[in-house]
Amino acid sequence: MPDEVLARHAGLGDKEAFAHLARRHGPALYRYVLRLLSDPADAEDCVQEVMLAAWKGLPSFRNDSSIRTWLLVLGRNQAQKLSQRQRPPFPRSGSRPTLDFDAAVAQVRDLRADPESDTIEGRLQIALDAALLLLPERQRSVWILREVEDLSYAEIASVVGLTPTAVRGLLQRARTAIAASLQEWR
């Protein structure tokens, strides 16, 4: 069933329809907010809060954007709220990374209790996560939303609150920085 139909049903009180939407978009939402917050416990709290907000907000959802984009907007907003309570919060634009690449790899590995992390693929994924960790939040968001979630520039712009042109510039910088980080990976 298409998202628009599920969203309409959920807006009219159909909890099963909402559960379908949650299962359909939960993986992408979690994947995104985990990479914003880095901490699985925070990501879990964030996803729970987003789903609660989505349930409450669906009656007034107007289909101006896709459900997925709307959930990602809610996810980013909630992640920023949680981040403000953390020390340190998201790196500010233009700030130096607080970690070098190897330290970031070690941090990501510590946070992932995943048996697959010992495989080559697992280590490569950790390296990518470490490279993302070194980026300012907006670059990280833009890169994930484009390269992983395949959102259009216009959709990304609505998630991060920028113009599509600014999104394009951020994406370019993020790609360059990630490539530089992965150059260090062995």
Partner 1 sequence: MNDINVSGEVHEPASGDAAGSYEVTVVPADTDASAAPRSNAAVRRRPAGDEAVIDDRLSRATALLRQHTDAGWKAIEDNVVARALTLFRPSTPVRGRHDIGDFFLAADVIVARLRRRIDEIPAAAAQKIACTTDDRDELELVTIQLIAAYRAPLLEVAGHVHAAAMDVLGDLLGALAPATDRVRTHVHIGDVSNDPRVVI
Binding site for partner 1 (CB under 8 A): 1-2, 4-5, 8-9, 11-16, 18-19, 22-23, 26-27, 30-31, 34, 40, 43-44, 47-48, 51-52, 55-56, 59, 91, 93-97, 112-114, 121, 124-125, 127-129, 134-136, 138-139, 147-148, 166, 169-170, 172-180, 182-183, 185
CB 38 within 8 A of CB 59: no
Whichever of 30 and 65 has its CB closer to partner 1, that residue is: 30
**Smallest distance, partner 1 to C-beta of residue 164, A:** 14
**Smallest distance, partner 1 to C-beta of residue 40, A:** 4
Whichever of 88 and 94 has its CB closer to partner 1, that residue is: 94
The tokens for 108 are 């990501």
Q: Return d(Cα 37, Cα 90) in angstroms, integer.
A: 8
**Smallest distance, partner 1 to C-beta of residue 87, A:** 20
**Smallest distance, partner 1 to C-beta of residue 86, A:** 17
